[in-house]
Amino acid sequence: MIKSKAHYITCIVMLFVLQSSAQQGSEILIKANKASLERDYTKAYDLYTKYIQINSKDFRGYFNRGTSAYNAKKYSSAIQDFTKTLQLNPIFLEAYYFRGQSFYHSKKYEKAISDYNYGLQKKPNSSSFLKLRSEAYAASGRKDAALMDLNMAIKADKLSGDLYKRRAELKVQLNDIEGSIKDYNAVEKLIPSYKMVHYLKGKLYLQIKEIEFACEEFEKALEYKIVVADKLNEEYCTSL
């Protein structure tokens, strides 16, 4: 009877400790999330570390600490935390996304591509993963592969002006000037606030000797106070 009573008391104590730890962990997590929202990433990182000490098997602690390190541009630390996240939760796509980005910013492009590949296995038409893989391909010199990914991304998300803008920039590198102009035309429609497009189109028209079209674009750029257009406008258009 005494033994049973002692065992019962022990269970109560253990339950109290677990409940106390859980409550403490929740309070730390709330504070850490608040610091992260306030962009105090150093404070957030330290608080997530305290949370991990209490909840070492919770993948959220490592993931959130990893995003704090990522936002603070501490990519090696971020990679370690995202890797631990994936050990605990191997199918967590957000961890592949951010670890891929951390590899990319560390100039480890093949490792970044590997993480984006996993994301695309799970979501083959994800314009986000296609865009990121395109950037990694381009940075590693594989511009044709980068273009293929942007083509697929635009097919999946036809209304993304950002994707057309990225493809226009890539086509310039591939010397497809007319193709770049077409993409910038799409950018002009999809992102009306992006007035720099007129200056960029003007420069491209100069490359293919379409001076009148170039001058029309420079004139529009100057109307929107894109002052960098002034020099080229004065050089090529004042005599027309």
CATH number for the domain that contains residue 99: 1.25.40.10
Expressed as residue numbers, the domain containing 39 is 25-106
Average pLDDT over residues 178-207: 98
On whether residue 83 sits in a domain, the answer given is yes
On whether residue 215 sits in a domain, the answer given is no
**Using alpha carbons only, what angle is made at residue 40 by residues 71 and 53, rounded to the nearest 5 degrees?**
85
Domain count across the chain: 1
pTM of this prediction? 0.85
Per-residue confidence (pLDDT) for residue 210, from 0 to 100: 97
pLDDT tens by residue, 79-116? 999 999 999 999 999 999 999 999 999 999 999 999 99
Per-residue confidence (pLDDT) for residue 26, from 0 to 100: 84
The Cα–Cα gap between 194 and 10 comes to 67
Reported confidence tier of residue 5, pLDDT bands at 50, 70, 90: very low
On whether residue 60 sits in a domain, the answer given is yes
